[in-house]
Structure 1
Amino acid sequence: MDWLITRFSEEQLYALEEWIGEWFFYAALGILALELCSQVRSKSIRWKIVGDALTNFVTLGAFIGIALLFFGVYIGALYWFYEYASVIQLPNTLWVLVLAVLLADFIYYWEHRFMHRVSLGWASHTVHHSSPYFNISVAYRFGPLDGILPLIFHLPMAMLGFNPWMILLAETLVQLYQTALHTELVRKLPRWVEAVFNTPSHHRVHHGSNAQYIDKNYGGMLIIWDRFFGSFEAEKEKVIYGLTDPIESINPFVVFLHGVWRMLVNIAASKSFAEGVGHICMPPEWSAVRALRLQQAAQSKGLTGRGQS
């Protein structure tokens, strides 16, 4: 059992993260090819599906660019908390990595829930949900804040003594597991797997705009967090993918920026400072209701104006 306590250097952790991420990306391209071939065979392929997939990879490029721009801040903040605010500094061993992945998965659940239930998070995460299709390329459909906001949630791991590179590796493993869930090629897995782990079936529900599927199944690797915290929903009726207010575009600039743009428009139209803050901190439906009321008021004024002229 000595391999459980074998120490990894920070360079080895970084290299492992890079290797796993690169290897999985090529595997994902292979899975996407299988998905598209399956659609060609079933005659359900559409050029818009291909265009949507290409748009997903453009958003990936934008996400990587922003993440690299802020990487110094991200890793620097983790190191500061690790060096000056940690209660202990844990060794870089395999058993610590297993513990880090479990904790990162628990944190991912709450991070993911935040991205859905707070307008600032949704302004970015809505990009990921805006595709009306569901294939592995959708896993690479990122928003402009997706590489920044996770820092807030992972700082406690540094305070608990996990090395910053261990934290990044654990984050990557949880994210890559999530990537593999974006497919319709896999239907249902054995009951015990569906009971404990997040599966393609569970994640299809998460991407559904059906009323009973909205804001369900936030989990990363494990679905037990959703079962315990009351956000689980099983896949029953056919999933309708995308947003309840679809953007109807495969333009990568529209896709990547539509959520942040909507938030900024809502803030600019606010009648008070408190309302402006609400468009950042309140749930997305809070902003949607106020935006609808503003639109209805504008239409009412327009009708009144035409009646008087």
Structure 2
Amino acid sequence: MENLFQQLSPDFVSGLEVWIDNWFFIIAIGLFVAELLRYTLKKTFTRNLLGDSIANFVTLGLFVVIVALVAAAYAGIFFYCYDNFKLVELPITPWSIICCVILADLAYYWEHRFLHSNGFGWASHTVHHSSPHFNISVAYRHGPLDWFFPLFFHLPLVFLGFHPFIIFLSEVIVQVFQTQLHTETVKKLPRPIEAIFNTPSHHRVHHATNRQYIDKNYAGIFIIWDKLFGTFAEEKAPVKYGIYPKINTVNPLKIFFAGYIKLSRQLWQAPNWRFRWCLLVKSPIWAWQQQQARLKK
């Protein structure tokens, strides 16, 4: 128990973050290869599946390039706020890391829910949802501004006194946990696990276009957030993946920028400035309903 309160160095935490991120990527590639073999054995392997999977990793590469350009500024904001605005200074211990991971997971829930609630956020996040398939590679399907939104939801943890390196580590842990949820290979896990944690079954629901599944299961690690805030749905009916309307391409550049290209067209064709503002701040469902109403006229 005393080990939970053992002081750790920032360099150790930073190194642990990199180690987890790098090694899990290697593990994820291995899992992805195993999934491709499973598709082959089930005779469901297609050229579209292969092209879509390659596109997923290309969008990851584009995302990494953008992150590399903004990483210094992103980290600088966290450290500046930590040095000047923290309420207390929490020690770097295994216990504080556990607490930060739980709070970072709660922050991720609200960030994720926010991305589904307005046109500006959805234009980036739609990239992740646009694949008609569901495998490990989809976890690496990123949009151009996916680095931007976490800043606002995780920055409050700095004010609470968590060291930025602990917050960055917590973000990595939440994302790594999320990665292994993108699979159809695992059906349902034992009930106690399904009751507390996010699972492949729960996350398949989140990626569904079925009416009863839309805007459900935003959780990162703990599905209890969705149960607590009324956004939980259990996987029952078979899941249909993707977005509506479908983008029908495996071109990674088109996939990566599709959301903001579509939003730009909507803004350009909007009848007035009030409508443009609504496109940015209201949900994509609202935008779709408005489009359908205009088509009926």
Q: TM-score with structure 2 length normalisation?
A: 0.97
Tell me, yes or no, if structure 1 residue 152 matches structure 2 residue 113.
no
The alpha carbon displacement at 1:134 in A equals: 0.4
**Residue pairs, 1:231-270, within 5 angstroms:** 231-270=231-270
What CA distance in whole angstroms lies between the structure 2 residues aligned with 1:36 and 1:258? 26
Gaps of 5+ in 1: 301-309
**Counterpart for residue 36 of structure 2:** 36
Note the C-alpha offset of 1:118.
Answer: 1.3
Shift of 1:83: 1.4
Identity %: 46
Tell me if 1:90 matches 2:78: no
What's the CA shift string for 1:217-246, capped at 9, x where partnerless?
000000001011111000101100111211
1:172 and 2:172 correspond: yes
> Residue 13 of structure 1: CA displacement?
1.4
Deviation digits for residues 239-287 of structure 1 (CA, Å, limit 9, x no counterpart): 0011121101110011111111111111122233222222111111222
* 2:271 partner letter: K
Native 8 Å contact 1:53 1:138 kept in 2: yes
The answer to whether the Cα contact below 8 Å between 1:218 and 1:226 also exists between their aligned partners in 2 is yes
Query: The residue matched to 1:70 in structure 2 has which SS?
Result: helix
Q: CA deviation at 1:291?
A: 3.9
How far residue 8 of structure 1 moved from its aligned partner, in angstroms, is 2.1
> Where does residue 7 of structure 2 map in the other structure?
7
Q: Which has the larger radius of gyration?
A: 1
Distance 2:268 2:66 in 1: 25
The alignment of Structure 1 onto Structure 2 pairs a total of residues equal to 297
RMSD: 1.3
Please identify, of 1-10 and 218-227, the stretch whose mean Cα deviation from structure 2 is larger: 1-10
Aligned residues of 1:70 and 1:148 also touching (Cα < 8 A)? no
By how many angstroms is 1:293 displaced? 5.0
* 1:74 corresponding residue in structure 2: 74
Query: What is the DSSP-based 3-state SS (H/G/I as helix, E as strand, rest coil) of the residue aligned with 2:166?
Result: helix
Q: Distance in 2 between matches of 1:45 and 1:271?
A: 45
Offset at 1:292?
Answer: 4.3
Q: Please give the per-residue CA displacement for 1:87-133, whole angstroms capped at 9, x wherever unaligned.
A: 10111111000000000011111000001111111100000000000
Give distance in 2, aligned partners of 1:214 and 1:292: 18
When the two structures are superposed, what TM-score results if normalisation uses the length of structure 1? 0.93
* Ranges of 4+ aligned residues in structure 1 off by more than 6 Å: none
